[in-house]
Each structure stands twice: as C-alpha cells, then as structure tokens.
Structure 1
Amino acid sequence: MKKYNYYLAAFTAFFIWGFFSLALKPIASYPSLDILFYRVFFSVVTLTAINLIFRRKNIKKNWADFSAMPKEKKQKITLLTLVGGIILASNWLIFIYVINHVNVKAGSLAYLICPILTTVFAFFLLKEKLNKWKWIAVCISTISCILLSLNHFQDILYSLLVASTYALYLVSQRKNSEIDKFLILNIQLLFIALLILPFYPAYSGAVPTEPVFYVCLFCIVVLFTIIPLFLNLYALKGLDSSTVGILMYTNPIINFTLAVFYFKEEVSVLQMISYSLILISIVIFNKKLLFGKKNKSKAIFEDSKSK
C-alpha cells in the first residue's frame, strides 16, 4: 500500500505543477530575477517557520542521526543537498524566464523532454534498470517530443535547459534519502537564499506594490513550491528516478488541457497525436503497476480452479 502512496505523491506534485502558468502569467510584467528573489525568500521564511514551530523534535532527531554518521556519509549528504539547491535555483530561474518571456509552449515542451532525460540520467548515473516495456515507453515519448518540436526549433534550447536542470535535480536527490525530506528542502532553499542575497540590492527592481503580485506569490510559494516539492522528494524515497520522471508527463498534459479549454488555443492534429502518444507511453511505462495486480489475481484464480 505504501508503494501506491509514493505514486500518489508523485502524481499529485506534477498535477499541481500543471497549473503553474496560472500563477505566473498575471505577473509576467515583473523581471524573472525579481520573481525568483521573492519566491526563494518567502519560501525560506515559510519553511523555516513551519520547521521551528511544528517540527523541532524532528530537527533534533535528524541532527542526532546526522552527527552519528561517518564523515564520508556526512560529506556526501552535504554535497548532494547543496548541489541540489543550486540546480533547483537554476531550474526555477530558467523556467520563470521561459514562461514569461519566451512562451508557455517552450515550458510545456521542457516537461515533455524532462522525463526522457531523467530516465536516461538515472540509467547511466544511478544504474537504474529498465525493462523492455519501459524502454518502449521512453521511445514512444521521444517520438512524441520530436513531433511537438517540429517548426519550433527555437524553443528546443530553452526547453532542454529547463528539462536537464530538473532531471539532474531528481536524479541527485534520489541518492539523498537519509535525512527528512522537508528539512532537506528547507536547507536547500536557505542555501539558495544566502547565495542570491548579495545580488538582491544590485539586481532587483522596485519593491512590488500591486496586491496581485503578492497573491500570485503566495500561490507560487505554498501551492507551487513547498507542497509539490515535498511530495516529489517524498516520492523519491520509494520510487526510482525514471518512474518519477515518467509521471512528470502529467504536467504537460494539464498544460495542454488548459491551453485548449481555458486559454482557447488552437490544437493541430499533430499535437493531438503527440499527446495521445504521451498517454500511451505513461500506461506502458506503468504497465506493472496498472495491470500487475489484475494478472496476479487472475493467476491465483486459475490456479485454484485447476485444483
């Protein structure tokens, strides 16, 4: 049952992120760097407050566990946490820029490419094994991404930058499972905040005064940062990186649905074919989860029948 909780956590995280553009678009007039500054600072304050007020026992326990670890393990956890923070900050900045200053399609394409890159990175860096059905799913996904990129080659560079940074973040955090995930996220964001704080006076614009900015920022921090990132890190405790990566296709599918039904964008036959292929690839990749139990029950029934 716990395995299904990990799947649910990953699916929910990407489901939520699918609506991210609704919070970003209303503040598109603000510089991307400003949005990043405030997103990081507000996230750090919120997460730190939650940990200090409600999770002090958890902090003490994790600190005691960390202190008891061998020196090499401490160094590994520290390196993975801090490097993960840098990669995450890079992903945020590039994604905000792409959504607000390139186009939403490039951002959507990034999260179509990302699962493929995550699967490939996990295969080569983490030595995660993929069966033939998962490789078939990856190939189908690759075909769908190629079809969607036709006539949009200028978007590919931006999409690859967004996709590769988040794929690397997922793969790196798969090995960072000894410490509480909520605490790791807090440390990563605190580290990012300390890195960008010296640049804030020189590179930030005027302090925003419009209420819509802070409403959108609240949604970005709580709904599109803290909750999905925690769910994502939790899912990585029980799922391999390639599985979490393939579930990421939930995100662009929702983007596509919003484009059709909310933003009333035109849909080509090629796009319909591409997204249909994505859905097929998700089913194939998760074939064991979706149909394994049924097949097992059928086998038990047939076995009892033969007796």
Structure 2
Amino acid sequence: MKKHKYYLAAFTAFFLWGFFSLGLKPIAHYPSLDILFYRVFCSALTMTAINLVFRKKNIRKNWNTFSVMPLQKKRSIAALTLIGAVILSANWFIFIYVVNHVSVKAGSLAYLICPILTTVFAFFLLHEKLTNWQWLAVSISAFSCVILSANHFQDIFYSLVVATTFALYLVSQRKNSELDKFLILNIQLLFIALLILPFYPKYSGAIPTETLFYLCLFSIVVFFTIVPLFLNLYALKGINSSTVGILMYINQIINFGLAFFYFNEQISLVQLFSYCLILISIIVFNKNIIFEKKSKSEEIAVVSKSI
C-alpha cells in the first residue's frame, strides 16, 4: 500500500502529458524555439516564486542537508542536477518540433520507444532487476513499436532521439533523490533558462500578442511542465525507473486517441493492433501492483472462513 502513492503520482503525470498536444497544436504556427523559450522562462519564474514565497523553510532545510554532505556527494548531486537539465531541455525542444512540424503520431511513437529504452538503461546503468513477466511486457512493447515504425523512417528517427533523451533523464534523476524534488526541478529549470537566455535575442521572433498564445502557454507551464514533472520526480523516490518508464505508455494511449478522434490523423488497423498490444504490456508489467489488492482480499477471505 505504501508504494501506491508513487504509482498514482506517475500515473497522474503521464495522464496529464497525454493531453500535451492540446496545448501545443493551437500555437503550432509559432516557431518551436519561441515556444521553448517562453515555456522555460515562465516555468522557471513560477517555480522560483513558489519556492521563495511558500517554501523558505524547505529551502533552508535542504541547504543544511546539502552543506553537511561529503564533497564527493555534493559533486554527484550537482552533476546529476545540471546534466539532467541539459538533457531535459534537448528533449523539450525536439518534442515540440516533432509535434508541430512532423506529426502528433511521431511524438507519440517517441514515448512508445522511451519506456523500452528506460528499462534497458535502468538495467545496465542502475542494475534494476525485472521479473520474467516484466521482461515479457517489454518484449511485447518492443514488438508493437517495430510494427508501428515500419515504413516510417523519418518518424522513427525523430522518435528515437526524443525517446533517448527522456529515458536518460529518468534514469539520471532516479539516482538524484537526496534533496527535495520540487527544489531540484526548480534549479534545473533555472539552469535551462540561463543556458538558452543568450540565444533569445537572436533566435526569438516578435513578442507574441495573441491571447491564445498566453492561454496555451499557461496550460503548458502549469499542467504540462511543473505539475507532471514534479509528480514524475516524486514517483522516482518510491518506484524504479523501469516502472515509471512503462507507465509512460498511458501518455501515448491518450495521444493516440487525440490523434485519431480530435486531430483526425489517419490510423490504420495495424496501428490500432499495436496500441492494443501496448495496453496489454502495461497490464502485464504492473501485474503485481494491479492484482495485489485483489490477492490480499482473497487471502483475508480465506483466513476469515478458516476461523
């Protein structure tokens, strides 16, 4: 029961991200870099304001914890935080470009591949162990991705780049768990903002004047950046990277539904079959947690009858 809150956090994060295209598509006529600039700057300012106004005690507590750590541990936390920020910024830009200038399905395919890469990276880099059932789920997912990528080289290329960056971010932040996750995320966003700030004057377009842009930006900052990223990092405190990775498929099933029902992108029977396989893989991978409650209830019933 203790881990259920971490599963719920991961589920909620990917559920929200599933609707990300609703915030991006209405402003697709804006350059991808402009969307990235405003997303990062507004997210960093919002989180900094929240921390400085409402979480001063938490900042002091984390600073005191960090101060007494050995030098090697400090360097490790700093490196993981800043490297994670660079990887995350690359992932954001490429994903925005893919959704707005390639296709929603290509963006969806990226995060279909990502759980597989996350599992592989976690296995080799973090030595996370998987059960035979979980390996079966990963195999089913891999098979479905192979089917989806057939005859779509451009999509698979962009998808691999997006998937690799986010998988590396997840794995790196699994090891970065000593300090408050909201504060870590704030530092990462501030670092990303500092990295891209020198490029803003030269590569940004005219300051947007449309109300629609700022409404979409608000939804992107709050519902598709701060809230899900924090929930994602929080989930990594209690469950391993491969589990968080496989739950990412929730995002893509919603994305698939939006692409078909809302954006009217054509979906073949092969793609429909592949997504059904992915849904099966989620259930198989999380078999223990899904059926744990039922099993415990059955055990209690058996004990009660025996009494």
Give the alignment's TM-score, normalised by structure 1: 0.97
Cα contact 2:122–2:128 (8 A) shared by 1? yes
2:286 aligned with 1:275: no
Tell me which residue corresponds to 1:185.
Answer: 185
Tell me which residue corresponds to 2:295.
Answer: 295
TM-superposed CA distance for 1:31, in Å, is: 1.1
Report Cα offsets for 1:93-132 as digits up to 9, x if no partner: 0001111111111100001000000000000000000110
Residues 250-259 or 127-136, more deviating: 250-259
Tell me which residue corresponds to 1:254.
Answer: 254
2:71 aligned with 1:71: yes
Counterparts in 2 of 1:197-212, with a 5 A limit? Answer: 197-212=197-212
2-side partners of 1:13 and 1:126: how far apart?
23
Tell me which residue corresponds to 1:141.
Answer: 141
Aligned length: 307
Tell me which residue corresponds to 2:14.
Answer: 14
5+ unaligned residues in a row in structure 1: which ranges? none
Tell me which residue corresponds to 1:156.
Answer: 156
Report Cα offsets for 1:160-181 as digits up to 9, x if no partner: 0100000000000000011000
Tell me which residue corresponds to 2:123.
Answer: 123
Tell me which residue corresponds to 2:82.
Answer: 82
Tell me which residue corresponds to 2:23.
Answer: 23
Residues 78-87 or 203-212, more deviating: 203-212
2-side partners of 1:297 and 1:14: how far apart?
29
Residue 267 of structure 2 aligns with an amino acid whose one-letter code is V
Tell me which residue corresponds to 1:48.
Answer: 48
1-side partners of 2:260 and 2:29: how far apart?
24
2-side partners of 1:156 and 1:139: how far apart?
18
Tell me which residue corresponds to 2:106.
Answer: 106
Tell me which residue corresponds to 1:225.
Answer: 225
Cα contact 2:104–2:259 (8 A) shared by 1? no
1:202 aligned counterpart, secondary structure: helix
2-side partners of 1:135 and 1:168: how far apart?
20
TM-superposed CA distance for 1:267, in Å, is: 2.7
TM-superposed CA distance for 1:306, in Å, is: 6.0
Cα contact 2:12–2:228 (8 A) shared by 1? yes
1:260 aligned counterpart, secondary structure: helix
TM-superposed CA distance for 1:16, in Å, is: 0.4
2-side partners of 1:51 and 1:171: how far apart?
25
Aligned CA RMSD, in angstroms, stands at 1.3
2-side partners of 1:133 and 1:25: how far apart?
38
Cα contact 2:27–2:213 (8 A) shared by 1? yes
TM-superposed CA distance for 1:290, in Å, is: 1.1
2-side partners of 1:266 and 1:154: how far apart?
17
Residues 50-59 or 151-160, more deviating: 151-160
TM-superposed CA distance for 1:9, in Å, is: 0.5
1-side partners of 2:195 and 2:267: how far apart?
42
1:2 aligned counterpart, secondary structure: coil
CA distance 1:164–1:149, shift in 2 (3 Å): same
TM-superposed CA distance for 1:295, in Å, is: 2.6
